[in-house]
Structure 1
């Protein structure tokens, strides 16, 4: 039996641990219960003979509510209507127990046993085998890593029990609350405030010493990037009560070896450094470089470190890392420009949010990152809502940059109110996160504050001292807004809104006061992203589907964002009032599309001139919502998604609402010659009123202005602009449709607020409701593989009018639900009279029920609709 346990231990290492060969992650087999229900104490609960009758079976990480949902505690969907309000009560005001039984394998006897807690929200009393190891005055803070020596409490020949009494955070959204996970105005708070275990719990064994937290930093010899000078750092710790002579052996990939001896006093820890000046083998010629995905391959290398005492290996740790160098400079208007491997990069992306109950799904994480890439984004921002290692490893793998740091808007934002104990929580949290994330290739920057610099200068100084000590290798900003720190100066970024609806013209005409296309906007949005009908009915009752209904409002944000009034008013004035919810939703997709496309296009147009980056607030909702997302909670890609995807095409043709110009935006690190840019204008009846093209070129990562569109006589009030870009071989690289009006949106800049700029006049797109009908022909060919299917869908407009806002859906059979997630080359597009396009649609077979998709084609003016 003991041999079997040893084999099982090794299998767990292989399957569950990517970094430390001496570590077991304790994820499954936990029990959870309220202290109100089971009134036993920690001494009793943490012993083998305790019977956890009627306790919930959970896997870690989990919050209290997530555990209850997994056990089907509720006979309702928490996401439906206002059901979330039903999850409340006295039991969430009391502590909860999390209990785990485990055994050490035979081979790990007589070693130091370290219990690592990484994600206790908010504090805990820890018991092991009947002994209180540390209480909640020590174990406090969800972002801290606690390494606790439990060797003397371990039963080497039998079962061991860990019992954690978790105390949920107190008012993390308040100035005087705990330094816990916070949300602010974009979501309702769960009743447990995410109390629970929100990251890994693990056991590691060491033979006296350990090497931990490797870091590999890069300096290139020149812009040619032909030689990378690598510096390797790590921490070495002596867990024994005797002095130790340790040899730290290192290996990069399979061919670069180095080692260094270090002497440690009893229980001492030291940093160790391998410099390229001392270890010539760390000067790598023709290195495999990690690039953001649009700039090159996100190639990863591997570092392996071992601690060796008297020829015995105490531990081995292995991590991926990127050979890459990220810096930043200031350009015009003090905008911070980020530089990756010597190349400036225009950063366009969105803000990541974990699930409302902090549930972790590797499959969903990868699905979402694939959607991010499909939208052509190159960055996500995480505002104090940290994920797990798998998430950051996926960002490394897919070449996606991550901006992260501390959060607004509760207690984290008010360090002047902190006690000495809370200050310690903050500093130790900073130290833990630095160790944890510093070697991730995807890390772009760290923010020591979100909506403002730390208001206590000594706190920012403390952070910076820790970050310097631990050699954080990337740019550090005091804040995500335009505030100037008394410690570190200008941030070079801004957070000047808007967060609610503004029209497309806003982004190019802002007088450099608000959220227009200048500087680096770390969070910004034209507001609501109303999901389509097929998503809405999953979380709003059908009889509540109207924008004044309380269920609708409940799924907005809170405070200023507790409704969609500004968006609704714009929609009614611009597209005409709706008489049915379906009509409203169809128009909403068009307004979502044009607003989000315009934002990203404007920032792209001004890149490296006045603008250096933009982050849409947000990428996704942590629960089904109506505001601030690019795809909804069910991963449905609707109008916002495809407006975003269109705007950030690597080689893109676009229209300027301000100058009436046609422009090429190249986001790739190569130039293009003999490009043909074409513009065609159609009136409301589909009559071609203007047609022009030029042959031109565009430099790498640059803009080419092609021509100004002329005034056209006898043009209808509403008209269409079709842009197309083809390469030297005649292959289409970009097709981009705009629906425009002779009447313009007008902004009242003098009445701007922190979250939007009101309009004094609206464009008139109501003529779209009188589009002549047209006919669509749809054919598709299926290419099915073992795991995935691609549908090659050809849509032809056989009528005489423009087919406006053609929408494709892939269904699980003719009357089935949508296949999700799904990737379309393009969607919500238009077709000129007689035009035909082929769109590829791909999905995993398991998400389609292993049946071929039924392709449903609709449009605003398709005959029969």
Structure 2
């Protein structure tokens, strides 16, 4: 096998000849134009500059490259037993490909990888390749007019109409959290490869689990063109380094027994042990291809069984029911080529640090790169993988479209099926629900047929062919498909938006139990540092045009303020408004998560919307575009911990619960204090409590005595077990009615500047929602947006990021009373 890498420098020119430059591939048109200043001073993120993208993309762009092929590349080439192909892992999206001025292919799918035979077109010496990226805006306008189908945002308020007609990242045409960036380009690797005699495409690995061993079934997926007989020779290497050799004919398969297997577990349940499977395809002692995979030994499925509430829906890992804790993942950047392994590892590492064990890849973006799944394997994050279909009906009457998406699904399921983290394959986002419950999505028999064909025939047949061992779910939310109560609280998974879109109070979460909550969310502003990155000083008003431009949900900023006003006093400035909006967001998600964890067994999953942003924006994310943790991410770190101490209050009564997602009983001391606003302890109790593994139970009930007004004191609960402390607090009245006193918070740093330094805090009066931050630079604290009470000493570990300053002079600490 010989490979010519075609990445690097390409010449690019627009069809109108107005724009031309030299591009780095992988790359994209808008990424390059942004760097050159064509998106405006400050780039696409600054002020309203993102609006320029659609006009810039309303034309074709041609990428050209010349390359040399040596005589050696063609030596002993025999067309009967060799192949020379152009391999493209990602072309966005509508292309015409020419090699040496001869048309090779046309493509229509950014989610696919392509391979084209070009042997007859190449010559020793100089060669050329030209890829024309056709105007996708013109295409979707034409296709939408030809056959308009029902889709989200039909008026085109935030999304360009017709996004569903093309196999391209839907959110590149805008979404209610992202700008319209309908980019184009070679976004993944591209190369020319010569294969002699064979091509080793994949090694399929399936597992059979027994009480004391696991059996791997290995089969090679190959192409070969000559007379040679090929064998697969390799090893399975255990986490401890023990090697098990294997050898079998490429036309057959083999079974490998692994005794005393080291099992893979999700985060919080055990270790993420991975085995290395290395296989060479050989003939006559010559290696013609190699495949290497990391696999985890585990059983992983969704358990659906009748019970007293309806039907269960939960992940079951190695026989143990799991309460899923995670968030919805969207593309990390408007420019896909700017995403990389280091950046994704930081994001997924932040998920692991916040006690996630699950992540849902939302269906309106792209299939992530291989390293995303490798990282999920390593961090123990179960992947709920949507296929890339969201909020629209698709033209399944077209044979061409059906074949196109079929190849897309085959490509990607083959690529990711071996991963230990892959737990569920989902057909689409929200379409079954839209059919049944949304008046704006009128049903027709033709559309129903297309839906059933796509999600109950075409995709399941491919799934059965490629990876039947992975659980398939036709839609999210769903109760099992075929339009039967798709958002039922009694079976399947649910999306719940009555809080936020429906304007219901935060307490509305506690009126619903659900079996698995796969989408719910609440918006906030990003930090003031992020706001300053995209605004001028005159823009820094929540209702300014620029602030509303960086809020893609229509009416989103007024709703942030409306919800905030229900519970908090109005903040004194934009900086404080950002801070309090994040408290509001964190409280909302916390209330839902704590309620569902208290009802473990009935509800078995919480996946909130959304984890991340693809640009700096006011949104539902818990981590903003620049990787800054919002209050929500710190909040879910507490709410997603294996041990959760939570308080459910009604009126003057507060019920204290422990939830235990660990594999052993927890026993410790529960301390309960009622503390007045001047710091006086009005009531104090201490008792020994315990909670069984995989359970939730009431530990203590506190009644506020007559004569104590609800807004005059705070209930603090602390659970101490072994070396860990868990905290919770309850307010008998909403925050804005508390006459908080300004606390004096003292703090001492230790080892500032080390990779991890420490901060110790104490106070003289209750400090509510203490925020720690650096005004210059960034870091992650072991806890933040917490309550601090007199007599307590809190130690915080600090993880410094790359731009953290040398001193702590820019360190800022504030609490809720400082916001008004």
TM-score of the superposed pair, with normalisation by structure 2 = 0.86
Q: Provide Cα deviations, 1:221-240, integer angstroms capped at 9, x if missing partner.
A: 13xxx3112122331112x3
Partner of 2:804: 848
Partner of 1:505: 507
Say whether residues 1:374 and 2:342 are aligned partners.
no
Q: For residue 285 of structure 1, report the CA deviation from its aligned partner.
A: 0.7
Q: Provide Cα deviations, 1:594-643, integer angstroms capped at 9, x if missing partner.
A: 11222222222222x21121211110111111121001112121221211
Residue 401 of structure 2 aligns to a residue in which SS? helix
CA RMSD in angstroms comes to 2.8
Aligned positions of 1:109-508 closer than 5 A: 109=75, 110=77, 112-134=83-105, 136=106, 139-155=107-123, 157-169=124-136, 170-171=139-140, 174=162, 177-183=165-171, 185-191=175-181, 193-222=182-211, 226-238=212-224, 240=225, 242-253=226-237, 255-262=243-250, 273-274=253-254, 276=255, 282-331=256-305, 332-354=309-331, 355-358=333-336, 359-384=338-363, 385=365, 386-409=367-390, 413-416=392-395, 418-453=397-432, 455-460=450-455, 461-482=457-478, 484-486=480-482, 492-498=492-498, 500=500, 502-508=504-510
Q: Provide Cα deviations, 1:260-307, integer angstroms capped at 9, x if missing partner.
A: 3256xxxxxxxx543x3xxxxx12111232221211121211112222
Q: For residue 548 of structure 1, report the CA deviation from its aligned partner.
A: 2.4
Which whole-Å CA distance do the structure 1 matches of 2:494 and 2:416 have between them? 24
Say whether residues 1:86 and 2:60 are aligned partners.
no
Q: For residue 447 of structure 1, report the CA deviation from its aligned partner.
A: 0.7
CA gap 1:233/1:646 in 2 versus in 1, 3 angstroms: same
Residue 397 of structure 1 aligns to a residue in which SS? helix
Query: Which blocks of at least 5 consecutive residues in structure 2 are unaligned?
Result: 141-159, 433-447
Which whole-Å CA distance do the structure 2 matches of 1:123 and 1:777 have between them? 60
Which whole-Å CA distance do the structure 2 matches of 1:663 and 1:176 have between them? 46
Partner of 1:637: 629
Q: For residue 695 of structure 1, report the CA deviation from its aligned partner.
A: 1.0
Selected match of 1:568 from 547, 561, 565: 561
Say whether residues 1:621 and 2:576 are aligned partners.
no
Q: Is the 8 A contact 1:806 1:857 kept in 2?
A: no
Q: For residue 564 of structure 1, report the CA deviation from its aligned partner.
A: 2.6
Partner of 2:518: 522
Which whole-Å CA distance do the structure 1 matches of 2:400 and 2:412 have between them? 18
Which whole-Å CA distance do the structure 2 matches of 1:179 and 1:532 have between them? 35
CA gap 1:202/1:603 in 2 versus in 1, 3 angstroms: farther
Residue 31 of structure 2 aligns to a residue in which SS? helix
Say whether residues 1:689 and 2:698 are aligned partners.
no
Which whole-Å CA distance do the structure 1 matches of 2:819 and 2:57 have between them? 54
Q: Is the 8 A contact 1:141 1:180 kept in 2?
A: yes
Which whole-Å CA distance do the structure 2 matches of 1:855 and 1:356 have between them? 31
Aligned positions of 1:692-771 closer than 5 A: 692-718=685-711, 719-728=713-722, 731-741=723-733, 764-768=734-738, 770-771=739-740
Say whether residues 1:97 and 2:62 are aligned partners.
yes
Say whether residues 1:64 and 2:29 are aligned partners.
yes
Partner of 1:746: none
Which whole-Å CA distance do the structure 2 matches of 1:483 and 1:680 have between them? 44
Q: For residue 852 of structure 1, report the CA deviation from its aligned partner.
A: 4.1
Which whole-Å CA distance do the structure 2 matches of 1:864 and 1:117 have between them? 53
- How many positions carry a matched residue from both structures? 753
Which whole-Å CA distance do the structure 1 matches of 2:2 and 2:278 have between them? 13
CA gap 1:699/1:373 in 2 versus in 1, 3 angstroms: same
CA gap 1:403/1:198 in 2 versus in 1, 3 angstroms: farther
Q: Is the 8 A contact 2:165 2:395 kept in 1?
A: no
Q: Provide Cα deviations, 1:168-196, integer angstroms capped at 9, x if missing partner.
A: 434385376213211264234434x2322
Which whole-Å CA distance do the structure 2 matches of 1:356 and 1:508 have between them? 36
Residue 807 of structure 1 aligns to a residue in which SS? strand
Q: For residue 209 of structure 1, report the CA deviation from its aligned partner.
A: 0.5
Selected match of 1:802 from 766, 787, 795: 766
Say whether residues 1:790 and 2:782 are aligned partners.
no
Which whole-Å CA distance do the structure 2 matches of 1:22 and 1:706 have between them? 67
Say whether residues 1:585 and 2:565 are aligned partners.
no
Q: Is the 8 A contact 2:219 2:250 kept in 1?
A: no
Which whole-Å CA distance do the structure 1 matches of 2:804 and 2:454 have between them? 52
Partner of 1:35: 15
Residue 623 of structure 2 aligns to a residue in which SS? coil
